[in-house]
Amino acid sequence: MRYHVLLYGDRLEFVEMPASHAYQLTALHQRLHKEIGKLTAENVPNLPQAIAECDALEIVSKDYVALSGLEYMNQLEQAFASVQEKSYPLVSLLTEIRALQAQLEQWYEEEYE
């Protein structure tokens, strides 16, 4: 597993990703940050900043937990699916989110069978 450290406002978030898919989450964050400014809807989700990746993570504060990659992707998909965008083709961003989401669903299914 690889861990992503995300800065969401003034709070840290940790996402546990299969090492084989970790680079995809980094690339997805970069793409979303590049494109989110083009959205004109009022309910555009706030995105965390990806600030680090690491191979090992030990959270010592009870105030933090590591989300599974699938849980994080489900939250991200729900946030973007609720955007009522009319001017920018949001479909391409949702397609990228859902592609990684589907890959993670398959990975977790195979890993835990």
What is the predicted pLDDT for the residue at 83?
A: 87
- Looking at the DSSP bridge assignments, the partners of residue 73 are none
Domain limits for position 26: 2-111
Phi, psi of 57 (to 5 degrees): -145, 130
Taking only the tens place, the pLDDT of each residue in 75-84 is 999 999 888 8
Amino acid (one-letter) located at 6: L
Q: How many domains does the chain have?
A: 1
Taking only the tens place, the pLDDT of each residue in 41-95 is 888 888 999 999 999 999 999 999 999 999 999 999 999 988 887 767 788 889 9
| Pairwise CA distance, residues 110 & 45, whole Å | 31
Instruction: Decide: helix, strand or coil at residue 49.
Output: strand
Report the candidate in 44, 10, 35 with the shortest Cα–Cα distance to residue 93.
Answer: 35
Please say whether the dihedral angle defined by the alpha carbons of residues 81, 27, 111 and 70, taken in this order, is positive or negative: negative
